[in-house]
Amino acid sequence: MIIHSTTFIKSAVKPDAFPAATLAEVAFCGRSNVGKSSLINILVNRKSLVRTSSTPGRTQLINFFLVNDTLSLVDLPGFGYAEVPLAVKKAWGPMMRTYFEERQSLCAIILLFDIRRTPREEELMLIDWARQYDIPLIPVVTKADKVTKGQRAKHVKEISAASGIDSDEFVLFSTISREGSDVIWARIEAAIEGFAVEQVAE
Ligand code: GTP
Ligand code: MG
């Protein structure tokens, strides 16, 4: 995808505050600090469109970005950070589920996995909801630079076993090498392809 423009639209928590669901949308989710915001910045070729942080758990809102006036990218709040207040932790699940369930324009979920970590309950919940609401899932294993090339397959295999997602489905990504971004764009483009056509048909 050739990026002509990217702009921040708004942050919201509840569906009534979301932007109108008129454009194809792709959302990024995963554990706090896994690299969601960093991946979006690389995909749109901007150093800091989305704020990244060394303090995990900072993004607790659903952030909407507009690409080329035609595609909506969404940075979803992370989970699993111990120091987030309990009330915020409790709100996370229902907020995610509502977004998955009600967002009519959602064409794909990009779920990020840290190459060094075994997926846990929250990742499994997100995978379940994506299946339940029939939203295509694009699984990305990120921070690939953190392990040696020889160790990669072993880590992907562990993530595959714990998540139930086939090893071949994962895209390996790293902000350092930038590998994987073309494949992720290709999968995004494939996922959004039918959206405009469906809209016209309705
Ligand atoms: P929250 O918004 O807190 O949920 O985190 P996030 O998932 O948006 O993570 P973010 O993009 O802020 O990245 C967290 C930290 O990981 C930052 O210090 C990034 O620079 C670093 N990081 C992200 N991706 C990579 C990667 O592929 N390789 C390496 N080495 N570091 C990365
Ligand atoms: Mg973030």
Give the rounded distance of the alpha carbon of 18 from its chain centre. Answer: 17
**Mutation probe of ligand 1 site: the residue of 42, 46, 53 with most atoms within 8 A of C-beta:** 53
Q: Is the pTM of this model over 0.95?
A: no
What integer pLDDT is reported at residue 29 of this predicted model?
A: 96
- Closest listed ligand to the CA of 38: 1
On whether residue 128 sits in a domain, the answer given is yes
From 28, 37, 111, mutation site for ligand 1 pocket: most ligand atoms within 8 A of C-beta: 37
Instruction: Assess if residue 48 is contained within a domain.
Output: yes
Burial classification of residue 52, based on how many CB atoms lie within 10 Å of its CB (0-12 exposed, 13-18 middle, 19 or more buried): middle
State the CATH number of the domain containing residue 193: 3.40.50.300
The mean per-residue pLDDT over the stretch 83-112 comes to 91
Residue 23 is assigned to a structural domain of this protein: yes
**Of 78, 163, 181, whose CA–CA distance to 119 is shortest?**
163
The predicted pLDDT at position 15 comes to 92
User: What is the C-alpha to C-alpha distance for residues 168 and 136, in angstroms, rounded to an integer?
Assistant: 15
Nearest CA to ligand 1 atom 14: 33
pLDDT digits (tens, 9 = 90+) for 98-145: 999 999 999 999 999 999 999 999 999 999 999 999 999 999 999 999
What is the total count of domains within the chain? Answer: 1
Within a domain: 19: yes
| Domain presence at residue 1 | no
Q: In angstroms, rounded to a whole number, what is the distance separating the alpha carbons of residues 32 and 46? A: 21
